[in-house]
Amino acid sequence: MRLIDGAQAIRGDLPSSATIDVNVPPGAGESLESGVHRLTSIATVAERLDEALAGAPGVPIVIGGDCGIELAAVRRAAAASDEPTALVWFDAHADANTPESSPSGAFHGMVVRALLGDGPDRLVTGPALTPDLLVLAGTRALDDAEADYVDAAGIRVVAPQQGFADAVVDAVRATGATRVYVHVDLDVLDPAQIHGVQFPEPFGVSVAELTEAIRGVRDAAQLVGAGITEFAPADPSEAVEDLPAILRIVSALVR
């Protein structure tokens, strides 16, 4: 419900003529012994988002929900061209677990791995991208199994650091891709920069560093899609405190 409140708060500050609402299932859904909680609802959301994106003009930006909504959006963007599409995953977490390694069973911690082709059949039919096209940016909290996989796969990781924006752009250029999808989980920000996230991690990036990195990525490759996820204010009345920061991120994506 907090994610719904967050999505609606952002929606209120966007032009209605430029937005499309995607309805989500009211029920929790079933896991079907997949190791993924609410698997059936996640699959339905992916199908409905895919349908909405099929009719969306221009470069779509998906806003709201948790990181699991990016499955359909990234998959569609990557499949739209024979040219390789890089994925910049601005997120405090790698989201690279499998159902077997996940400590929680929550899909938002598995979506990157699903995009790389590992996950339940109901959600994954094949890889949307390869590890060499993935950049984990601002990532600083990995489970042991995730860290092992990221190291073994040779995935580029840009931790929060001095010169963060330049380091992200260099990593994108190293992929060789001319197209890019940008994912923003708001917990990539330092907790001092934003309050309405459920899984804050210390030592994150500032809004200024994030927006500079986004603009640099857009200069380095053609933006073909983006997402802003995980806005979950504790109370709808508290959302207003974080909206200026979020709207700066939206502005960086749409210029």
The phi, psi pair for 146, rounded to 5°, reads: -65, -45
Q: How far is 134 from 116, CA to CA, in rounded Å?
A: 9
Helices (H), 116-156: 144-153
Return the beta strands (E) in the chain as ranges.
61-63, 85-90, 134-137, 156-158, 179-185, 222-229
Whether the CB-CB separation of 227 and 62 falls below 8 Å is answered with yes
Q: How far is 21 from 23, CA to CA, in rounded Å?
A: 6
Quote the DSSP letter at residue 33.
T
Structure tokens at 214: 């986004």
Work out whether strand 61-63 and strand 222-229 pair parallel, antiparallel, or are unpaired.
parallel
Structure tokens at 50: 């895919």
CATH number for the domain including 13?
3.40.800.10
Overall number of domains in the chain = 1
Structural domain span for residue 48? 2-254
Q: Determine the pLDDT at residue 255.
A: 83
pLDDT averaged per 10 residues, the chain (length 255): 94 93 90 97 96 92 95 97 98 98 97 97 95 98 98 98 98 98 98 97 98 98 98 94 97 94
Structure tokens at 169: 């752009």
Which pTM value belongs to this model?
0.97
**Backbone CA torsion sign across 119, 121, 124, 127:** positive
**How many residues are recorded in the chain?**
255
